[in-house]
Amino acid sequence: MIEKELIVKNKLGLHARPAALLVKSMGKFESKIEILRDDLLVDGKSIMGIMMLAAEQGAKLTFRIDGPDENEAMNAVIELFEKGFYEE
């Protein structure tokens, strides 16, 4: 199991479009993906869960990934966050 804290960079935060990008990307991996924010924990493959985090610009999210392709999955997550979900 690996864990990493990431910061939301794009201006609008994790709204519908970035959330859809994230679940589509995560859906390709076998590993179990959990996202933590303060005392909230949601499934990284569930779009409604992700949106309910209401993660604004600057929000800190911890990704906890567990499974055979956890490293690849984490790299995909990191890339999406670094690129700001291809948004401003």
Partner 1 sequence: MSDEKKNNSTLTVEDIFKDNKEELSFTVVSGISGMNNSIKSKEVVNAGLAFAGYTEHIQKNSIIVAGDVELNFLNNLNSSKRKLFISSIFDKGCAALVIVTEKKIPKIIKIFSNKKNIPVIKGNGSIYSTTNKLSLYLSSKLAESVTKHGTLVDIYGVGVLLTGKSGIGKSECALDLVDRGHRLVADDAVKIYKRGEHILMGTGIAPDSSIQYHMEVRGVGILDIAKIFGIRGVRLHKRIEIEINLIEWKPDTDIERVGLKEETSNILGVEIPLVKIPLLPGKNISVIAEVVALNHLLKISGYDTSKVFNATLIKLMQEKAKKLARLDEDEE
Nearest distance from residue 12's CB to partner 1, in Å? 5
Enumerate residues 27-86 that contact partner 1 by CB under 8 A: 27-28, 47, 51, 54-58
Of the residues 9, 12, 15, 59, only one is catalytic, namely 15
Query: Do residues 52 and 25 make contact, with C-beta atoms less than 8 angstroms apart?
Result: no
Does residue 15 have an active-site annotation? yes
Q: Which tokens in the block code for residue 15?
A: 């709204």
Strands laid side by side in the 60-66 sheet: 2-7, 60-66, 32-37, 40-43
- At CA 70, angle to CA 66 and CA 72, rounded to 5? 165
Question: Does position 26 bind partner 1 by CB under 8 A?
Answer: no
CA 87 to centroid of chain Cα atoms: 15
Q: Which is nearer to partner 1, 13 or 44 (CB)?
A: 13
Active site positions, annotated: 15
- Footprint of partner 1 (CB under 8 A): 12-17, 19-20, 23-24, 27-28, 47, 51, 54-58
